[in-house]
Structure 1
């Protein structure tokens, strides 16, 4: 697809976010509490669906757009949208107190299909960490290969045998071999004799040319007719849309061409990203060379002017703000604030007459309004959306989009490379901050020299008496610090701990499984059943959505993980063969997580005692945090609390992890 199409899709997604912010998130008047739970649920579910539609558009745009500066803004918006979806899920849970939420009736009203609102797994979860994941996978593979080599080189037990026993064993096998050959030879002779006898009884077959040609024609016509009928049936099925057309070469299919285009765009993204990073340094150097001296001189002139104005007003030079206070930047902020206050005072004098009239009117109304105070104090009970951690992010992104990209003319930038003017605007701020620090140091020295020169002129060379040092105030009592966890392995590196856990079978290699391989249907009658008082059985589609919301989306992005509500643990139950381990493998595959297997059968007798268990948990959490994301799997978790596991109930670890 073209650059224009993805730009249009981005604008559409941005418009959807803007509508949501205006209607629900940041309305002009605060919303009233909703007492009806059904209405509240429909409102939150509608917002959830609309955010999901925006999420799908942004995810595709971020994956396929090649403009590096646009992709950074889209990524910011994408993280905010994911976080808001998770917050909406939390709101749905607080309304119904149920893990599964059904809105098939809303999809019908909004004329959407389940495929339209399926939560996609962002592809940048893996693509942006591809190098780290490859190195980790390579390390795991090398450790497992070493373990296999060590197992293969173990000395086998030698079998002792006397010479007579060896000769006897060879004789037995040789006699058996000769007997088998003799029996096979006799069988062949017998079969050949029977064939010769039957051919003598039948005689030679009498077949003329006409009969032979007729038989050949008969067989060929039957074969050709059957082939023609099969071709006609295949064409009919394709015409009716019941079968796909047979393509001789996969290179000419639309899916193949689309996949190739996506791969080409990914390559262009990498190229443009490198060019953008190089441009950041080159543009900064040019600005420092061309605009840096002028900016420095202008700052010095402004600060000197401030010296003179302050001396004229107070009779002495001012104290220069410290670096902690902001330096010269704090000076100009104060001046701007003073100007703003002066402007407000000027406006206030003009409006005094009006205020006097308003006070009289308010005095009359105040007596009447006293009666209604009790009603205002009592807050109305009902459902109100909880404060969000991601609405400010979405609002900032929307403002950035409106000011930078909404009306920007990109007719010249057909290849969608980086915009140099935007880089200049960003780098000017950095250069100004760096130059300001240098100027502050110079101007502090200059101010110090000015003060010394004035003191010499006035004859104040003598040092004044030193004032008594004030008594040091008592230091406030430090708050009690929480106990820090002891590092049981301070002298060992993460790689060393990782290697040990792999050798002990705690870290296991997870098979590559995509969540899309967990196939199932959507339940279209769930809402109807729930309204009838029947709790519906969750479908495979609902299970996939729940796993995506609770496991994959919070772990895939650090920005989302820090702010979004997430559940640290999840229990998957069900009969054998429903796909519990497949979901576990899909979670690890989609986010590139390490898999720690703490199944009771797997850790039994490996780290015995309380000290051993503490060491195991310490190693697991230390490696898991250092090389996040990580998933801890505890199979047959109920056996952890059994005092004694029956022999008949012992389950070996599934070979799927080994």
Structure 2
């Protein structure tokens, strides 16, 4: 598609954003409390429009070339995602469910589910591609080095043991045969892989040539014998009947033409069914997808060229501005920090904590966001009980406001103010150039100069920060000397002891920081439910399907974690528990999330922590290292496979050796420390959460429950996986196979198909077609979970905070129906 199309798309999208923003402001300003039913009819259309706008903004950001415009679109996209997530939070509170079906609103808007489906932005990983590759290579190299070191240690131990045995048997060393089989095997092992391959090829070639020679010799002997017999008159040549030959040729041609015609018709109908989506070809035509990817790569190259051009203009302007303004600005900042030093020393007798570079450095001092001496003193001496009381009082007040008359009030949002600022900036700088015909937007020098002035502030502050840090260290060392003999010891806030690189290497070698396989969320198979809207409307039982899981993962895990701006604006979700029976795809989802956002993965599985940081001090230090590294390498995911085990009521003997309950005390502190903008998420995987105590339900903010496989999901999965094999009959009975295997996990089905369709079986497919019974016999070997386990998983949802609220609402609805009758 052309630049004209994407510029036109951007113009229409921005106009829709302005209209939606006015509607959103109207709801925000209208503070009058309303019943929940009326609120949902007002909120849901706005929520759906936000989803549609986000979809279009992602497309604009990925495809538009001018870099200044792309930065502006990104800011608007971040605000829109955060606001959409705020609306989702309110809808979840009102409906008491993480899943919603909007059939009535979609029909009114004349939309399909594809119009509101959001895919992860490509910008989440493309911008950090090189950094991620380097990190993965570093982790792999560290693991390889540790494994080589262990192997060398084992070899040394084996050599020592072998030398000791040789010393005990001196006769064995004297008798060393040169051509023993052991020596030959050692020689073969010492050979390189290339030499082994070369020798193997020579052996194969020599055997093949001798075989062909033998076959040719046998054929020559037969021909000679035949000629000798002909000359001797022992054999007579048969006379050829031309009429019989012509009849035979006609019959062959007739049958061949019929066969060819049937094949052509079959091919035509197969092609029609493929176009209609009734059949899947084993050989897929990827030309359209490849062209689309090529066009996307070309646009990325053009985006890089536009970046290079704008960088050249920025460099020219930067040189001019830096020469004029940097000396005076440097002196002003140094004076400002010296005043801050004096203020702390006069108030407390020591100097304050210098803000880190990542936090903002001296910018926090200049803007008054750093701790004042009074605040530091008050925090140090304030008892914990008062803090708890204040929090409880705040919670009670909020509950009273929200639950008054069982009505709903739209909470205030800072995002709308950010959108107002973005709109003002657009009207000031971009409104005149918002014409679709204006394809190649020229760089705006005024915007560049404003950015350079801001950059000048940051760069000069970085230089001053380094100087002031050195000066602060000298002042602190002088203070230590002055108060060396004081009793009790003189204490003041200090810096971190251990460097980040050392911590990273230590956790990689301990196998706590891990690499993950490259999988994408698009590979998640699952169909959505098509009857839940009607079932909910008629107060009938309904359940979400595997297709809805994908969108909840995008909304709660990928969109907030992938961008710092979104994470700082959107509702904060600190911890999520993915619940499901074994082999239902829980680990796949974590790997997909990590790949989509390029996250650093910490593995705190109890089984992985055996023999590592076993004492209390070690565990606390481990959590401290994870906390520091997760903030230094955002986004970060802290995975706990068996995230329910630390809170089990009774631990079986096999689990006791892992000591999972030690995490029960450390995890809550880690989760509490997560704040907006940190881009950290604790992800637990649970297979038997119903065994847990009540504390478990308070640890995780969200519970994503993986349902059992349904007919639609399995039909799609069978169709995709089986039809990829060449030679499978396109009329293979998938429907009966899906009906027989409803409830089977997808991982088990995949393993069964791989076990059945081996290379030997695929060779026979042409004359021995695959039957559904073959896959069923392989699936029967799997021991399915008991009915009690599946029932407990279904009942588990009612124990979660949202599930309890949902139960109350369903009881009220049932009471209303019974009174009407």
Query: Shorter-chain TM-score: what band?
Result: 0.5 to 0.7
1:645 aligned partner: 652
Q: Matches of 1:150 and 1:432 in 2, distance apart?
A: 48
1:188 aligned partner: none
Q: Compared with structure 1, are the counterparts of its residues 134 and 288 closer, same or farther at alpha carbon in structure 2 (3 Å cutoff)?
A: closer
Q: Deviations over 1:473-512 (max 9, x none)?
A: xxxxxxxxxx99998xx44322222222122111121111
2:502 aligned partner: 496
**Cα deviation, residue 591, structure 1:** 0.8
1:393 aligned partner: 418
Q: Deviations over 1:282-304 (max 9, x none)?
A: 24667899x99xxxxxxxxxxxx
1:530 aligned partner: 536
Q: Matches of 1:523 and 1:620 in 2, distance apart?
A: 40
Q: Deviations over 1:238-276 (max 9, x none)?
A: 34633699999968x333222111101101111111211
Q: Compared with structure 1, are the counterparts of its residues 86 and 433 closer, same or farther at alpha carbon in structure 2 (3 Å cutoff)?
A: closer
**Counterparts of residues 198-237 of structure 1 (less than 5 Å):** 222=255, 225-237=258-270
2:663 aligned partner: none
Q: Which secondary structure does the structure 2 equivalent of 1:74 belong to?
A: helix
Conserved 8 A contact 1:550-1:566: no
- Tell me whether 1:407 sits opposite 2:407 in the alignment: no
2:551 aligned partner: 545
Q: Compared with structure 1, are the counterparts of its residues 409 and 384 closer, same or farther at alpha carbon in structure 2 (3 Å cutoff)?
A: closer
2:630 aligned partner: 624
Q: Which secondary structure does the structure 2 equivalent of 1:631 belong to?
A: strand
Conserved 8 A contact 2:597-2:635: yes
Q: Which secondary structure does the structure 2 equivalent of 1:637 belong to?
A: coil
Q: Matches of 2:18 and 2:66 in 1, distance apart?
A: 22
Q: Matches of 2:99 and 2:436 in 1, distance apart?
A: 48
**Cα deviation, residue 429, structure 1:** 7.7
1:314 aligned partner: none
Conserved 8 A contact 2:600-2:637: yes
**Counterparts of residues 273-288 of structure 1 (less than 5 Å):** 273-283=307-317
Conserved 8 A contact 1:552-1:587: yes
RMSD of aligned Cα (Å): 4.4
2:589 aligned partner: 583
- Tell me whether 1:132 sits opposite 2:135 in the alignment: no
**Cα deviation, residue 228, structure 1:** 3.7
Q: Matches of 1:648 and 1:69 in 2, distance apart?
A: 56
2:14 aligned partner: 14
Q: Deviations over 1:194-233 (max 9, x none)?
A: xx9xxxxxx9998957677876776676455434422322
Q: Matches of 2:624 and 2:65 in 1, distance apart?
A: 43
Q: Compared with structure 1, are the counterparts of its residues 544 and 213 closer, same or farther at alpha carbon in structure 2 (3 Å cutoff)?
A: same
Q: Matches of 2:301 and 2:290 in 1, distance apart?
A: 17
- Tell me whether 1:36 sits opposite 2:35 in the alignment: yes
Q: Matches of 1:561 and 1:553 in 2, distance apart?
A: 8
Q: Matches of 2:455 and 2:647 in 1, distance apart?
A: 62
Conserved 8 A contact 2:314-2:452: no
Q: Which secondary structure does the structure 1 equivalent of 2:575 belong to?
A: coil
Conserved 8 A contact 2:82-2:566: yes
1:25 aligned partner: 25
Q: Deviations over 1:348-391 (max 9, x none)?
A: xxxxxxxxxxxxxxxxxxxxxxxxxxxxxxx9973232111211
Conserved 8 A contact 1:272-1:418: no
Q: Compared with structure 1, are the counterparts of its residues 636 and 268 closer, same or farther at alpha carbon in structure 2 (3 Å cutoff)?
A: same
- Tell me whether 1:256 sits opposite 2:290 in the alignment: yes
5+ residue gaps, structure 1: 171-191, 197-202, 293-325, 327-378, 435-482
TM, length-normalised to structure 1? 0.64
**Cα deviation, residue 85, structure 1:** 0.9
1:90 aligned partner: 89
What is the aligned counterpart of 1:268 among 278, 302, 305? 302
Conserved 8 A contact 1:25-1:391: yes
**Cα deviation, residue 118, structure 1:** 1.1
Q: Deviations over 1:41-86 (max 9, x none)?
A: 1221211110011101111111111111111110110110011011
Q: Matches of 1:51 and 1:570 in 2, distance apart?
A: 24
Moved more, 72-81 or 516-525: 516-525
Q: Which secondary structure does the structure 1 equivalent of 2:637 belong to?
A: strand
Conserved 8 A contact 1:594-1:629: yes
**Cα deviation, residue 428, structure 1:** 10
2:122 aligned partner: 123
Moved more, 565-574 or 253-262: 253-262
Q: Compared with structure 1, are the counterparts of its residues 220 and 583 closer, same or farther at alpha carbon in structure 2 (3 Å cutoff)?
A: farther
Q: Compared with structure 1, are the counterparts of its residues 634 and 47 closer, same or farther at alpha carbon in structure 2 (3 Å cutoff)?
A: same
Q: Matches of 1:286 and 1:602 in 2, distance apart?
A: 56
2:579 aligned partner: 573
Q: Compared with structure 1, are the counterparts of its residues 594 and 525 closer, same or farther at alpha carbon in structure 2 (3 Å cutoff)?
A: same
Conserved 8 A contact 1:63-1:124: yes
Conserved 8 A contact 2:433-2:441: no
Q: Which secondary structure does the structure 2 equivalent of 1:570 belong to?
A: strand
1:601 aligned partner: 607
Q: Which secondary structure does the structure 1 equivalent of 2:577 belong to?
A: coil
Q: Compared with structure 1, are the counterparts of its residues 91 and 204 closer, same or farther at alpha carbon in structure 2 (3 Å cutoff)?
A: farther
Q: Matches of 1:123 and 1:104 in 2, distance apart?
A: 29
What is the aligned counterpart of 2:642 among 632, 636, 641? 636
Q: Compared with structure 1, are the counterparts of its residues 248 and 531 closer, same or farther at alpha carbon in structure 2 (3 Å cutoff)?
A: closer
Moved more, 524-533 or 624-633: 524-533
2:750 aligned partner: none
Q: Matches of 1:607 and 1:108 in 2, distance apart?
A: 57
Q: Matches of 2:137 and 2:584 in 1, distance apart?
A: 32
Conserved 8 A contact 1:76-1:393: no
Conserved 8 A contact 2:516-2:591: yes
Conserved 8 A contact 1:114-1:522: no
Q: Matches of 1:572 and 1:247 in 2, distance apart?
A: 34
**Cα deviation, residue 412, structure 1:** 9.0
Q: Which secondary structure does the structure 1 equivalent of 2:431 belong to?
A: coil
**Counterparts of residues 173-184 of structure 1 (less than 5 Å):** none
Q: Matches of 1:259 and 1:54 in 2, distance apart?
A: 23
2:784 aligned partner: none
Q: Matches of 1:209 and 1:584 in 2, distance apart?
A: 76
- Tell me whether 1:238 sits opposite 2:244 in the alignment: no
Q: Matches of 2:411 and 2:300 in 1, distance apart?
A: 39
**Cα deviation, residue 101, structure 1:** 2.7
Q: Matches of 1:149 and 1:105 in 2, distance apart?
A: 62
Q: Matches of 1:491 and 1:214 in 2, distance apart?
A: 97
**Counterparts of residues 106-117 of structure 1 (less than 5 Å):** 106-117=105-116
2:721 aligned partner: none
**Cα deviation, residue 579, structure 1:** 1.2
Conserved 8 A contact 2:527-2:547: yes
**Cα deviation, residue 14, structure 1:** 1.1
Q: Which secondary structure does the structure 1 equivalent of 2:526 belong to?
A: coil
Moved more, 225-234 or 552-561: 225-234
Conserved 8 A contact 1:104-1:525: no
**Counterparts of residues 320-399 of structure 1 (less than 5 Å):** 382-399=407-424
Q: Matches of 2:237 and 2:42 in 1, distance apart?
A: 88
Q: Matches of 2:247 and 2:442 in 1, distance apart?
A: 74
Conserved 8 A contact 2:4-2:437: no
**Cα deviation, residue 570, structure 1:** 0.5
Q: Compared with structure 1, are the counterparts of its residues 94 and 639 closer, same or farther at alpha carbon in structure 2 (3 Å cutoff)?
A: closer
